[in-house]
Amino acid sequence: MAALTQWVEREGTQRPVPRGHSEQITLDGGTDLVAVRLGVWVSNTKTRRDNLTAELLDACGSWEWSRA
């Protein structure tokens, strides 16, 4: 979720994440950057959205689910 949050803060909710995009984030306040395959995660999450928990969907907030 940190990678998606970072993307949305930078790009907004209307711009789709390209499938091959990796987002660089830091974990737990660390200093090392970690590459998260955000495009793959978004694609997989959209495909499985009917089976996701309400908690995860709420955490995604205003993300535009209808985009590919």
**Rounded CA separation 25/42 (Å):** 16
In whole angstroms, give the CA distance from residue 36 to residue 14: 20
- Digit-coded pLDDT (tens) for 13-47: 888 899 999 999 988 878 889 999 999 998 888 88
Residue 63 has pLDDT above 50, yes or no: yes
- The Cα angle at residue 10 between residues 6 and 16, in degrees rounded to 5: 85
Instruction: Give the model's pLDDT for residue 68.
Output: 43
**Which pLDDT does position 8 carry in this prediction?**
87
